[in-house]
Chain A
Amino acid sequence: MSPAPTAIYLDHQATTPVDPRVLDAMLPWFSETFGNAHSEQHAWGRQAAEAVDVAREQVAALIGASAREIVFTSGATESNNLAIKGAVRFAMRHGRGNHIVTVATEHKCVLESCAAMADEGAEVTIVGVGPDGLVDPELVAAAMTDSTVLVSVMAVNNEIGVIQPLAELGALCRARGVLLHTDAAQATGKVALDVDAMQIDLLSISGHKMYAPKGIGALYTRRRPRARLLAEISGGGQERGNRSGTLPVPLVVALGEAAEVAGSEMSAEGTRLAGLRAAMLDNLRASHADVFVNGSVDQRVPGNLNVGFPGVDAEALMAAMESVAISTGSACTSASVEPSYVLRALGLEDPEAGASIRIGFGRFTTETEVDIAAKLIAAAVGAQRGDSSARAAE
């Protein structure tokens, strides 16, 4: 049932494999030990609660937060929903304003959460990005009004990997008393994040984008100055009332371990991935000189490459390469045939956007795999072009 051993996985922005160290940390919680972490009256529950405490510290340490600022959720989609709807509903209920500023290239769940708030009476301003995919903090500042309560800007884009200027955004939001939320699903564990230095108030984390399983995430929620939320999932009052429901202990343990591993290996791994990416791009360029890179090359996570080949149909390209897993955009929308709204926000026309692919490198990607994948991609592009431009490039 596994894909053929020759299949090369280069779709790490869609999801990452579970790191064996993470697996080792979590598996005992499915068999040897169990317990409801909220049953602190007995030994089983206390043992589970202690494991949760450790994981909370590990996650907090990765982003310079304190443990009690971490709210565990089912994933980044829930974190983003909770951050945006929770913060704006709280502000609106207390008459503190109703305006949200966000960016055109945000993940669908951020944009849809903002849209849901618009249905509830909030005002939403969507700021564009430059051709490099980066948002200009000046434009965000200009979009803010007296009723702005939340600015939501992703840390790293899921399709093009560009890193947004969070520290500058943090400074301008704090100066105006506006909350800054960042969807850091693609950033956590890959680039250094410090919620204090960057003055971030709410930060969404995804487990399965950082080598933990799917189904777990977290929302950092600042305590000073306090970022207040109305809970979206209520009931037992877990997670300091921010998120009810029994905590999935094995998944929480996994997220903690994943955070610890990512934190300790981030810098060396970043260098390695940047090397793999450079090799891929050099290889593609050698065969197809007209390859273009979408988004800033400098302000970008090392594991992401998003490139286009003029005149090529990216969907057909993917279909032609059964042994290399890449994508044409975010996984959530990759089944749709619409051209990427992220690439269009960069100013690409439909044909250019439709000619672009996302190549995502990860912790277990090897040089050999990149070599083989580059040849296969180049050949598939060449095949689509009748090999004319491939030859021209040589």
Chain B
Amino acid sequence: MDTYLDHNATTPVRPEAADAVARALTQHGNASSVHRFGRLVRHTLDEARESVASLVGASPANIVFTSGGTEANNQALRGFDGPVLVSAVEHDSVLGVRADARIVDVDADGVLSLEHLHEMLARCEEPALVSVMRANNETGVMQPIGDVVRLAHEHGALVHCDAVQAAGKIDVSFAQLGVDMMSLSAHKLGGPQGVGALIVRDGFDPEPLLRGGGQERRRRAGTENVAGIAGFGAAARIAQDNLDLFAGLNGLRDDMETLLRAAIPDIVIHGADGERLPNTSCIGLPGMTAEIQVMQLDLAGVAVSSGSACSSGKVAPSHVLRAMGHDDAAAQSAIRVSLGWSSVAQDVDHFVDAWTAMAQRRSPNVDARRSVA
């Protein structure tokens, strides 16, 4: 285990966030209790809420802490009474919520088709909810959220934005984007797993998913995950202070892509022509399945993935690449390399060496399989 380039699956907890978690774990009150133990815990929650709000340009009252991005996406979509439109490249936790969701196409770069969205909005018989991610988890491709919001609001529709992969990596402003709801996950930006947030604009209340106590202003029941939230807050502060450094990862990423192209000219960098996150590269190697590639890289001590982590045990072709117009073979032969706050040039060097060695063995393998057949 030496080179970890799967930061879009989960990224190491920032030391400052780990400290905040450890500190909060020694506070043993329940934030809803009125005694002093409870009040201390409430103070910890308030601080974290401010930090998370600051990272994404929202106000603390807009933040509803959840158990993660998946829960936030579920809460945003499940209870909505009306048509739900989602882009074809959304995460499973958006695509899987509503069986009745209508799918908006993306182009070959993975960017949502505004014309198609316009057509679909015009066809909606009642106000819709549009859910479009800020940046894609597999390709890093960013969506034109400003245009989506303008179109949607013209049609009286609401907009939810899954910003799980974008927040803490690029500047994301809830207020500037003008969306009605936004989802965040702590463990994608250097906080702990098991905590996230749904950000909800003033004057709008999505149906609660979990019912019970009156926590989170009655928008999400359950004793707050105080340590997790404290870690989320600390990670948000550090991420906000380091957005410039994160933006600089595109240098490493672009150099890496140049080296890979030079070694094997027929590779495909998916979404390279679109606007992408600085840390993500989705690399197609014709003739070798992603599964085999990831396995070989794992043997070489390099961790990457063949798509999103939740489905990475499955062998189905990427729905993201299929939506971008690729056939099953192409959609099954791409790996995701994602850099993070702890990545250094040596990580990329190690990957490039291991990948190149693997890719150069590709043709004989393909031939061997043919001759057996």
Contacts and interface: CB of A to CB of B under 8 A. Distances in A.
B223 A208 contact: yes
Nearest to A113: B211
Contacts of B303: 39, 42-45
B304 interface: yes
B212 A234 contact: no
A220 interface: no
Interface string A34-62: 11101111111101000000000000000
B9 A244 contact: no
B321 to A, nearest CB: 17
A325 interface: yes
A45 B223 contact: no
Interface string A1-37: 1110001010100111110000100010011001110
Contacts of B94: 235
A332 B214 contact: yes
B178 interface: no
A246 B37 CA distance: 30
A250 B192 contact: yes
A331 B304 contact: no
Given A18-B26, A251-B228, A325 B36 contact: yes
A144 B66 CA distance: 36
B36 A322 contact: yes
Contacts of B38: 14, 325, 331
Interface stretch (A75-83, A134-142, A163-171, A266-274): A75-83
Contacts of A15: 28-30, 33, 223
Contacts of B43: 1
A311 interface: no
A152 to B, nearest CB: 13
Given A77-B221, A109-B222, A245 B210 contact: no
Nearest to B303: A42
B358 interface: no
A235 B91 contact: yes
A75 B311 CA distance: 24
Given A34-B12, A36-B309, A80 B212 contact: yes
B366 interface: no
Counting chain A residues whose Cβ lies within 8 A of the other chain, the interface size class is: 35 or more
A42 B1 CA distance: 9
Nearest to B39: A3
B38 to A, nearest CB: 7
A362 to B, nearest CB: 9
A206 B313 CA distance: 29
A27 B22 CA distance: 7
B25 A81 contact: no
A326 interface: yes
A9 B33 CA distance: 12
Interface in B274-316: 291, 294-295, 297-298, 301-306, 308-313
A109 B221 contact: yes
Counting chain B residues whose Cβ lies within 8 A of the other chain, the interface size class is: 35 or more
B225 interface: yes
Contacts, number: 286
Given A44-B6, A326-B35, A30 B96 contact: no
A156 B367 CA distance: 66
A116 interface: yes
Contacts of B329: none
A42 B10 CA distance: 13
Contact of B210 (A11, A109, A236, A238): A109
A45 B297 CA distance: 14
Nearest to A116: B211
A236 B73 CA distance: 12
A312 B1 CA distance: 64
B33 A236 contact: no
B115 to A, nearest CB: 28
Contacts of B25: 18, 23, 213
Given A39-B303, A77-B221, A234-B97, A17 B28 contact: yes
A179 interface: no
A161 to B, nearest CB: 17
Nearest to B32: A331
Contacts of B37: 3, 7, 9, 11, 325
A42 B304 contact: yes
Interface in A339-384: none
A41 B306 contact: yes
B212 A109 contact: yes
Interface in A171-208: 206, 208
B36 A109 contact: no
Contacts of B228: 213-215, 248, 251
Interface string B133-145: 0000000000000
B195 interface: yes
B185 to A, nearest CB: 8
17 contacts: A30-B192, A35-B10, A43-B1, A44-B303, A77-B222, A113-B212, A213-B25, A214-B30, A214-B223, A234-B96, A235-B70, A236-B310, A236-B311, A237-B92, A244-B92, A244-B310, A331-B33
5 smallest CB-CB distances across A and B, nearest first, come from A236-B310, A109-B212, A215-B225, A248-B194, A332-B213
Given A14-B38, A208-B30, A248-B67, 17 more contacts: A2-B26, A3-B37, A9-B37, A42-B305, A45-B309, A77-B222, A77-B223, A109-B222, A216-B225, A234-B96, A235-B70, A236-B310, A248-B68, A248-B187, A248-B228, A250-B194, A332-B213
Interface of A: 1-3, 7, 9, 11, 14-18, 23, 27, 30-31, 34-36, 38-45, 47, 73-78, 80-81, 107-110, 112-113, 115-116, 206, 208, 213-216, 232-238, 244-251, 318, 322, 325-327, 330-336
